[in-house]
């Protein structure tokens, strides 16, 4: 099975981590400083460009690049930095309606939200009683965060990459292989019986499996209490309500 071969760590499923740039998280200086954008780094592990900033004291800072910044721009980094495009600052310094990305969920965690290419979140206000910031994600979900959480002002670079189709399966394969993603995701019932428990014309074995099953059998509903359509009291109540409505 695929999970058996991936777990063994064969070259076909080995992660090319030696080509990845590494984790990108905030390491702010003790005081607000302006850094010059030296270059943009294309990391195979992500679709957002990585901007390399050089500060006057010789310290280099790597962060996710915002849409619209260029080599040679001066970006402010710090807790008191202005809320300008590409600058790294606190949510408390950002005005309402300003787009931000790479937002921390808790002060000091390095950034958790809106890190994908072309994404951003919007500050929609502050709670007067608690002082917490209300942030709306691209999924329309609203989060209540501390005003000391760090974020980058603007929209994450690399937006619009989904508008250009891959055209060929080989191009998609090399893209997924470079990022160590399993592709294509083949259905178990489309496989042969010796490749998957569900394979074969007979349908194979049930989709539910116990927690004590060997790794080669763990596929589908592992230790499920129930499967299929809900036929309990709530389902009967909804069915009777719909029947009364029709009558």
Number of Cβ atoms within 10 Å of the Cβ of 74: 13
The CATH architecture of the domain made up of 21-153 is Roll (2.30)
Number of Cβ atoms within 10 Å of the Cβ of 210: 10
- Identify the sign of the CA torsion 34, 31, 120, 109: positive
Whether omega for the bond prior to residue 231 falls within 30 degrees of 0, making it cis, is: no
Q: Give the integer Cα–Cα distance in Å for 14 and 164.
A: 28
Q: How many angstroms from the chain centroid is the CA of residue 171?
A: 22
Beta strands in 65-207 (DSSP E): 74-77, 88-90, 99-101, 121-126, 133-136, 142-145, 150-153
pLDDT of residue 30: 86
Q: Give the integer Cα–Cα distance in Å for 145 and 107.
A: 9
Polymer length in residues for the chain: 247
CB-based contacts of 62, cutoff 8 Å, min separation 6: 21, 24, 41, 50, 51, 52, 53
Report yes or no on whether pTM surpasses 0.85.
Answer: no
Given a contact cutoff of 8 angstroms between Cβ atoms, the answer to whether 94 and 80 are in contact is no
What is the distance between the terminal CA atoms of the chain, rounded to a whole angstrom? 52
Mean pLDDT in each 10-residue stretch from start to end of the chain (247 residues)? Answer: 76 84 90 94 93 94 96 94 95 94 95 95 92 94 95 95 92 88 87 86 84 86 89 62 57
pLDDT of residue 73: 96
pLDDT of residue 153: 97
Given a contact cutoff of 8 angstroms between Cβ atoms, the answer to whether 63 and 23 are in contact is no
């Amino acid at each position: 099975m695929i999970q058996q071969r991936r777990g063994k760590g064969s070259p076909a499923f080995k992660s090319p981590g030696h080509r990845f740039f590494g984790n990108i998280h905030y390491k702010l200086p003790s005081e607000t400083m302006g850094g010059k954008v030296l270059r943009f780094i294309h990391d195979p592990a992500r679709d957002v460009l990585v901007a390399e900033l050089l500060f006057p004291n010789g310290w280099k800072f790597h962060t996710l690049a915002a849409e619209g910044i260029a080599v040679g721009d001066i970006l402010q980094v710090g807790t008191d930095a202005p809320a300008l495009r590409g600058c790294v600052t606190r949510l408390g310094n950002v005005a309402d309606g300003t787009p931000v990305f790479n937002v921390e969920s808790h002060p000091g965690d390095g950034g958790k939200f809106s890190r994908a290419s072309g994404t951003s979140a919007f500050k929609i206000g502050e709670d007067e009683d608690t002082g917490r910031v209300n942030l709306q994600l691209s999924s329309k979900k609203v989060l209540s965060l501390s005003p000391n959480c760090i974020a980058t002002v603007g929209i994450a670079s690399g937006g619009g990459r989904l508008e250009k189709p891959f055209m060929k399966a080989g191009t998609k394969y090399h893209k997924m292989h470079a990022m160590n993603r399993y592709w294509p995701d083949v259905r178990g019932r489309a496989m042969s019986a010796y490749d998957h428990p569900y394979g074969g014309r007979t349908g194979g074995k049930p989709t539910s499996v116990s927690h004590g099953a060997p790794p080669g059998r763990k596929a589908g509903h592992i230790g499920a209490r129930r499967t299929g359509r809900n036929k309990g009291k709530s389902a009967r109540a909804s069915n009777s309500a719909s029947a009364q409505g029709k009558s």
